[in-house]
Amino acid sequence: MTNDQEPKKTGTTTLGIVCRDGVILATEHRATMGTLIAHTETQKLFMIDQHIGLTTAGLVGDAQTLARYITAEAELFRLKRDQPMTVKAAATLTANILSGNRYYPYWVQLLLGGWDREGGHVYSLDAAGGSIPDKYCATGSGSPYAYGVLEDNFKDDLTASEGVDLAIKALNAAMRRDSASGNGYDVVVINEKGWNPVAPKELDRRKEKLNIK
């Protein structure tokens, strides 16, 4: 591939954490084009169903297309079977879509997470269709900094509330050192009650408590 054929690199930070009573998905808001901060209110967290969410890193158009595609498939599954799609099934579906387009790939790195009858799950998906479950994951250019915080602070019995604080710490570390990450957070808790976004005022309160400026 010649230089003029190379896809544009994009930066971001997204993460997912499995807690004992919920799954945390979190992203920051910045979108970049090279060294230009193109947008400061970019949506990188999508609700696929009331119990499943998707975070996106990579090309915005590809990410939005995939989010719409997977959401439609989840809705059709619920209508046909009168029950929600499991998180594993949603991850497998997404992996199959990505794998089926490997020669004309979607330039994305995704996290798909949620809560079903088997508990909480987070899957990391790559552009070639790889799907790997884990207890915590991070994607994007800021992920090395986020992983540093997650590695030091994650434990198996984290509550969802503790998970929200950990997500804030990890995103803050990425935003401090990765120029492609910044401009605020989106955080959601997914549990047996469904999709529960954390309000901006609550995020500010937690940041103040954690002494994050």
Report pLDDT for 155: 96
Report pLDDT for 39: 84
Asked whether residue 92 is assigned to any structural domain, the reply reads yes
Asked whether residue 5 is assigned to any structural domain, the reply reads no
- Using a cut of 0.85, tell me whether the model's pTM lies above it: yes
Asked whether residue 99 is assigned to any structural domain, the reply reads yes
Q: CA of 94: how far to CAs of 67, 118, 122, 191, in Å?
A: 10, 19, 13, 21
Report pLDDT for 9: 46
Asked whether residue 65 is assigned to any structural domain, the reply reads yes
Residue 155: which residues within 8 A CB-CB, separation 6 or more?
A: none
> Pick the residue with more confidence: 181 or 47?
47
Report pLDDT for 179: 85
Report pLDDT for 49: 97
Query: What is d(CA 90, CA 86) in angstroms, rounded to the nearest whole number?
Result: 6
Q: Which domain holds residue 126?
A: 10-209
Taking only the tens place, the pLDDT of each residue in 60-93 is 899 999 999 999 999 999 999 999 999 999 999 9
Catalytic center residues: 12
Are residues 172 and 212 in contact, defined by beta-carbon separation less than 8 angstroms? yes
Report pLDDT for 10: 57
Asked whether residue 4 is assigned to any structural domain, the reply reads no
Asked whether residue 194 is assigned to any structural domain, the reply reads yes
For the chain, the domain total comes to: 1
Average of per-residue pLDDT across 18-28: 97
pLDDT at 6 over 70: no
Q: What is the CATH number of the domain that holds 58?
A: 3.60.20.10
pLDDT at 38 over 90: no
Average of per-residue pLDDT across 172-184: 90
Taking only the tens place, the pLDDT of each residue in 94-103 is 999 999 998 8
Q: Six-digit token pair at 175? A: 């935003």
Q: CA of 163: how far to CAs of 23, 92, 116, 198, 212, in Å?
A: 8, 25, 18, 12, 16
Report pLDDT for 8: 43
Asked whether residue 56 is assigned to any structural domain, the reply reads yes
Place 182 in a pLDDT band, splitting at 50, 70 and 90.
confident
pLDDT at 5 over 50: no
Mean pLDDT of the chain, nearest integer: 92
Query: What is d(CA 89, CA 91) in angstroms, rounded to the nearest whole number?
Result: 5
Asked whether residue 31 is assigned to any structural domain, the reply reads yes
